Amino acid sequence: MLRIENLSKRFGKNTASEVLAIDGLSLRVSPGEFACVIGSNGAGKSTLLACVSGATRPDEGKIVLEGEDITRQPENKRAGKIGRVFQDPLSGTCASMTIEENMALANRRGKPRTLRMGITKKEREKFREALSELNLGLENRLRDPVGLLSGGQRQSLSLIMATLVRPTLLLLDEHTAALDPKTANLVMNLTAEVVEKEKLTTVMITHNMRLALLHGTRLLMMHRGQILLDFDELSKSKLTLQDLLEKFDVALPENNTAGVLSDRMLLG
């Protein structure tokens, strides 16, 4: 499904502040897998996702999605295969446009934009149905501008929009990190539900070890641009937070957990 080979990405090349964000990383994600990626700040998680989504071009390596090499494909071209939810709830929707207009934009992900009408009657029914599953009452507010919604509502909407056209790959970039704990829980449960129901191949970045242990069928830990630990569904199910910390300790050559794990990762 998703195959990443020997990926490298440097920022600020040939400057004093050069950073090796991704360092020869290889990864395979099988169809239907829900992979959680954890790691501290600067581990390269977001850069990895940016390379896959096309927001950033890698320096070296190859990214293959469903047998197609997408390494050099423009971001908007590969959008047809990739659904995304961003960390910032404001990023995933257009504030000045209505809920139904936003959903109609999402319903055309990967399709050419023509001079046909932007929303059809049939679509409205589909949108209403999809929104009613959220139980947020949004199905009765199709013509409200998205700017009137709360962060949690907007993030829930973003998630629905990302999966409105079934994506080959769903990328979640810390999509609950900017929400309050209760809303974050709500959105996370919704995510798990949607991924499960649609059997979506998913890569989720999170800062939060507890979330990563609770959800998904695979757990990856990144450090300094590489994948340090990789647990499959079985080994992940036996894992506890304490195990994870200890394994991380052992795996690290410096043996210096304090510098690598932030409080937020442990407590968040």
Partner 1 sequence: MTFFAFFGAVELGLVYGLMTMGVFITFRVLNFPDLTVDGSLPLGAAVASVCVAGGMNPFFALIFATLAGFLAGTITGFLTTKLRILHLLASILTMTALYSVNIRVMGGRPNISLLGKRTVFDPVFSLGLPNYLAYNLVFLAFVAAIVAILAWLVKTEYGQSLLATGDNPRMITAMGVNTHFTIITGVGISNALVALSGGLVAQYQGTADVSMGVGTIVAGLASIVVGETLFGTRRVTGAIIAAVLGSVVYRLAIALALGLKFKRFSFTASDLNLITALLVVIALTVPLLKSRLKKRKKGAPFGKKPC
Residues lying near partner 1 in the complex (CB under 8 A) are found at 53, 74-77, 79-80, 82, 84, 86, 91-97, 101, 104-106, 108-111, 113-119, 145, 147-148
Q: Are 107 and 164 in contact (CB under 8 A)?
A: yes
Q: How far is the CB of 257 from partner 1 (least distance, A)?
A: 35
In angstroms, rounded to a whole number, what is the distance separating the alpha carbons of residues 38 and 245?
12
Residue 128 amino acid letter: R
Burial of 209 (0-12, 13-18, 19+ CB in 10 A): buried
Residue with tokens 């055309």: 108
Query: What are residue 38's phi and psi, to 5 degrees?
Result: -115, 170
- Nearest to partner 1 of 167, 216 (CB atom): 167
Q: Computed from CA positions of residues 218, 188, 138, 158, in that sequence, does the dihedral angle turn out positive or negative?
A: negative
Q: How far is the CB of 127 from partner 1 (least distance, A)?
A: 14
132, 138, 267, 130: which is closest to 207 by C-alpha? 267
Q: How far is the CB of 164 from partner 1 (least distance, A)?
A: 10
Q: Are 110 and 81 in contact (CB under 8 A)?
A: yes
Q: Are 225 and 37 in contact (CB under 8 A)?
A: no
Q: How far is the CB of 201 from partner 1 (least distance, A)?
A: 17
